[in-house]
Amino acid sequence: MSAQPWYKTALRWGQTNLVECDPKRYDGNFWREHWKKTRVQGVIINAGGIVAYYPSKFPLHHRADMLGERDLYGEIVKEARAAGLAVIARMDSNRVAEDFYAAHPEWVCRDIDGNPYRLADKYVTCIGSDYYREYLPSVMEEIIERSQPDGFSDNSWAGLPRKHICYCDSCKTQFRAYGGGEIPRKHDWEDENYRNWLRWNFTRRTELWKFNNQVTRKAGGENCAWMGMISGEPHHNSQRFIDLQKILAETPIVMLDHQRRNAIDGFEQNTEAGKRLHEMAGWDKLIPESTPQYQLGAPVFRLSSMPPSEVRLWATSGFAGGIQPWWHHIGSSHEDRRQYKTAEPIFQWHEKNQDVLVNRTLTPDVGVVWSQQNQDYFGRDESDEKTLAPFRGIVKALDRHAIPYVPLHPDDIASAFERVKCIILPNIGALSDEQIEHIKSFAAKGGSVIATGETSTATLYGDRRPELALSELFGVRRGQGALGGTGPINPDIETWGRHTYLRLAPENRASAYGPQDATAPKEASKRNPILKGLEGTDTIPFGGYLPLMTVDPSAEVLATYISDFPIFPPETSWMREPKSSTPAITVKTSPAGGKMVWFIADLDRCYGRDANPDHAQIIANAVNLALEGNRKIELSGTYGVITAELYEQDGRKIVHLNNRLLLSNVPGRQYDLIPIGPVEVRLAVAGKPAKAELRVAGKSVTGKQEGGIFSFVVDAILDHEVVVVE
Ligand SMILES: [Zn+2]
């Protein structure tokens, strides 16, 4: 018997997500063999909720078709126990069928006219009702009594998403008891009662999480934890009122349900999600992630095998972010049997190398600030464009230049200087006074800060401040209005818009305007290093959004805005106003010596959308300037498609190199793996390492040690490489 609880020791998970016809076809021998081959240490087994897989004593607890009196759930639990596996009982509980609704209409969400909320043929239950307070707890107690699972997970536990408002009687009473007024009639971010309703909704989900844990731990013992599934998609949690900071701090393990590919992000997003969630949960917790072995993108094919290369890229991207593997099949029997072959090599590699995949410390070069409050209260209904797109652009730019970053919550900036010397604020408009103080004190210690767009323009709840809260620090002040726009540029060539540019400081001057250095020699080397790599051009494309600002003499302007002019017909395509005094990029040195860079022009959002390499270059240059060349790790030979993550563990360094090359026009879809290399890795080290151990290639390479830098070459990276430097 292990001294540690299951949630500390079960690294690899498997889930055969039962469907209603499985009672007549589940093949226990096959799946036991599959557990063994894939080296899983825990399984997630469908127990109850919308569909029960055991003969529940509750008459309204709908049994799977063809279940009869059979206890399929209980049988699988026994087999898992015999195989020495941890067991999580899976619930899916946010909807009920017609008969249930007829018996308990008061447990179902209501729209403003009092009609029940429906999804397909089911009714959505309200998390404020006794369905969650009494009925589900008694179901969980029944499951515990029958089978003693190690813990519970629930698929869609958080109830009605933000876009809908529930007007049921429980909600009305409970919101009043919370100190709210009437349930808001519409989404109005300016309305204090609506904001109160939002806060109440976050609070009640956190309370529901705690309450469910009280229920399961009371009936099943102190380690019988209840875990709602958590998404790694930044929007998803806000839209379901899941307060990640509070809930992740509470839970002993994070069951990550982050399977679906979107149309914008590639595999790198899984690394980002792992790092971001670990930062809030703690790096000592496990975050297994449900990884579909079937096609889950747009469109979805639940029963068809996902290309193995795609599963490998998603899983290994997760490993780089501290995520553990968990295979997921829909149904227990498949005609597309190719999906049974995919997990085995991934999981076996994981077992062999688990010593370097957990219990380690992330050591990034830069912190990228992100918060749910900024998404919600500053992003509001436009959070996709307003707050998420800038964050995504920064992350993509850093990835392109293989700069390891950590997603950082504003509350954690206070202690960030020990870890990183540079933080980036991608349009973090909503910041509390306390968070502003954290940023100022980070700068006072000598840290560098890169801010973009309208950072610090509002309070935590999105109320406009009279002036940017960080204006002194950066020497930048808010003007009136803005130029350009944030969404995709209109593809209609006749009405194109936003044909705008940035004018860079002349090559023989440090600044775009302002005090001139009359004595400066006229060679092409006077520009700020932020513009490095752009020799040979005075302008770069822009096409983005630029809030108007004024700049104090203490800050230097590195680029100005060139306003829109026609692209069609070609004869009209010339700059009407080639020069302006509208600042686009500024830099100032803080009294403590850090660099304060402001991208007034939204190069972050632009790069995330348009992938213009000049924009990524400038962002990476700003980081390099901030770090004064003291990078913990640098790569060359990456073609911009190999990313680096760096960890420390007992004095050794662990480097993840991930191949981000995309061959399909759907991010997150990949049929083939294309090796990239040779890649040179330069690692800042204190001692004298002799060699680097390549855990994927299965060999060691010798390196060179020179001036505190250990450099070595990795010949090729197919999907990923994990390097251990002792
Ligand atoms: Zn309600």
What's the average model confidence in pLDDT over 564-590?
Answer: 94
Q: Given the DSSP bridges, would you call strands 709-714 and 679-684 parallel, antiparallel or unpaired?
A: antiparallel
Region at 50 (left for phi over 0; alpha for psi -120 to 50; beta for the rest)? alpha
365 Cα: distance to centroid of ligand 1 (angstroms): 45
pLDDT of 515 reads 52
What residues contact 106, with CB distance under 8 A and at least 6 apart? 129, 130, 168, 169, 170
CA angle, 25 as apex, 20 and 27 as ends, to 5°?
A: 120
Q: For the chain, give the longest Cα–Cα distance.
A: 92
Cβ–Cβ under 8 Å, residues 645 and 274: no
411 closest CA partner among 428, 391, 394, 393: 428
Residue 303 has pLDDT above 90, yes or no: yes
Of the ranges 276-285, 362-371, 486-495, 674-683, which one carries the lowest mean pLDDT score? Answer: 486-495
What's the average model confidence in pLDDT over 243-272?
Answer: 91
135 Cα: distance to centroid of ligand 1 (angstroms): 16
pLDDT of 264 reads 82
230 Cα: distance to centroid of ligand 1 (angstroms): 22
Q: What CA–CA distance (Å, rounded) separates 413 from 436?
A: 10
Residue 294's DSSP bridge partners are: 305
Cα torsion 88, 93, 94, 95 to 10°: value is 140
166 Cα: distance to centroid of ligand 1 (angstroms): 5
pLDDT tens digits, 526-556: 899 999 999 999 999 999 999 999 999 999 9
Residue 325's DSSP bridge partners are: 289
Return the amino acid letter for 474. Answer: F
Q: What CA–CA distance (Å, rounded) separates 171 from 129?
A: 8
Question: How many CB atoms lie under 10 A from the CB of residue 372?
Answer: 23
Q: What CA–CA distance (Å, rounded) separates 356 from 687?
A: 20
Q: What CA–CA distance (Å, rounded) separates 252 from 227?
A: 9
450 Cα: distance to centroid of ligand 1 (angstroms): 43
162 Cα: distance to centroid of ligand 1 (angstroms): 12
Return the amino acid letter for 547. Answer: P
Residue 523 has pLDDT above 60, yes or no: no
What's the average model confidence in pLDDT over 301-313?
Answer: 95
183 Cα: distance to centroid of ligand 1 (angstroms): 10
Cβ–Cβ under 8 Å, residues 477 and 467: yes
119 Cα: distance to centroid of ligand 1 (angstroms): 15
184 Cα: distance to centroid of ligand 1 (angstroms): 13
409 Cα: distance to centroid of ligand 1 (angstroms): 31
In the predicted model, what is the mean pLDDT of the chain? 94
484 Cα: distance to centroid of ligand 1 (angstroms): 42
Q: What CA–CA distance (Å, rounded) separates 707 from 700?
A: 22
What's the average model confidence in pLDDT over 681-710?
Answer: 92
Instruction: Report CA-CA distances (Å) from 7 to 291, 307, 319.
Output: 18, 30, 18
Report percent pLDDT > 70 for the chain. 97
679 Cα: distance to centroid of ligand 1 (angstroms): 56
pLDDT tens digits, 69-114: 999 999 999 999 999 999 999 999 899 999 999 999 999 999 999 9
pLDDT of 582 reads 97
Beta strands in 485-531 (DSSP E): 501-504
Query: DSSP 3-state assignment of 14?
Result: strand
388 Cα: distance to centroid of ligand 1 (angstroms): 29
126 Cα: distance to centroid of ligand 1 (angstroms): 5
**Count, residues in the chain:** 726
pLDDT tens digits, 664-684: 877 777 889 999 999 999 999
Q: What CA–CA distance (Å, rounded) separates 707 from 726?
A: 17
Half-sphere exposure of 288 (CA within 13 A, CB side): 30
What residues contact 692, with CB distance under 8 A and at least 6 apart? 681, 700, 701, 702, 703, 710, 712, 723, 724, 725
b/e per residue 289-318 (b: at least 16 CB within 10 A):
bbbbbbbbbeeeeeebbbbbbbbbbbbbbb
Residue 546's DSSP bridge partners are: 483
Instruction: Report CA-CA distances (Å) from 260 to 19, 385, 661, 703, 724.
Output: 19, 20, 19, 40, 31
Residue 568 has pLDDT above 50, yes or no: yes
439 Cα: distance to centroid of ligand 1 (angstroms): 39
165 Cα: distance to centroid of ligand 1 (angstroms): 8
159 Cα: distance to centroid of ligand 1 (angstroms): 9
DSSP code of residue 432 = -
For the sheet containing 501-504, what is the strand order? 405-408, 366-369, 422-425, 448-452, 595-599, 583-589, 556-562, 501-504, 539-541
Residue 609 has pLDDT above 70, yes or no: yes
At 21, list the tokens.
Answer: 């016809």
Q: What CA–CA distance (Å, rounded) separates 45 from 53?
A: 9
284 Cα: distance to centroid of ligand 1 (angstroms): 36
Q: What CA–CA distance (Å, rounded) separates 512 from 531?
A: 11
pLDDT of 524 reads 45
497 Cα: distance to centroid of ligand 1 (angstroms): 45
Give the end-to-end CA distance of the chain in Å, rounded to a whole number: 32
Q: What CA–CA distance (Å, rounded) separates 406 from 237?
A: 19
176 Cα: distance to centroid of ligand 1 (angstroms): 13
101 Cα: distance to centroid of ligand 1 (angstroms): 14
112 Cα: distance to centroid of ligand 1 (angstroms): 11
Query: DSSP 3-state assignment of 318?
Result: helix
SS3 content of the chain, % helix, strand, coil (to 5): 35, 25, 45
- Residue 626 pLDDT class (50, 70, 90 cuts): very high
pLDDT tens digits, 17-38: 999 999 999 999 999 999 999 9
110 Cα: distance to centroid of ligand 1 (angstroms): 7
pLDDT of 338 reads 97
227 Cα: distance to centroid of ligand 1 (angstroms): 22
What's the average model confidence in pLDDT over 361-367?
Answer: 98
- Residue 690 pLDDT class (50, 70, 90 cuts): confident
116 Cα: distance to centroid of ligand 1 (angstroms): 10
108 Cα: distance to centroid of ligand 1 (angstroms): 7
Which backbone phi and psi does 670 adopt, to 5 degrees?
A: -150, 130
| 514/9: higher pLDDT | 9
pLDDT of 259 reads 80
Half-sphere exposure of 600 (CA within 13 A, CB side): 32
177 Cα: distance to centroid of ligand 1 (angstroms): 14
Beta strands in 310-364 (DSSP E): 324-330, 361-362
What's the average model confidence in pLDDT over 578-601?
Answer: 97
pTM given for the model: 0.96
pLDDT of 93 reads 86
504 Cα: distance to centroid of ligand 1 (angstroms): 55
605 closest CA partner among 558, 543, 563, 657: 543
667 Cα: distance to centroid of ligand 1 (angstroms): 38
Q: What CA–CA distance (Å, rounded) separates 329 from 339?
A: 8
b/e per residue 615-642 (b: at least 16 CB within 10 A):
bbbbbbbbbbbbbeeebbbbbeebeebb
111 Cα: distance to centroid of ligand 1 (angstroms): 9
125 Cα: distance to centroid of ligand 1 (angstroms): 8
Report percent pLDDT > 90 for the chain. 88
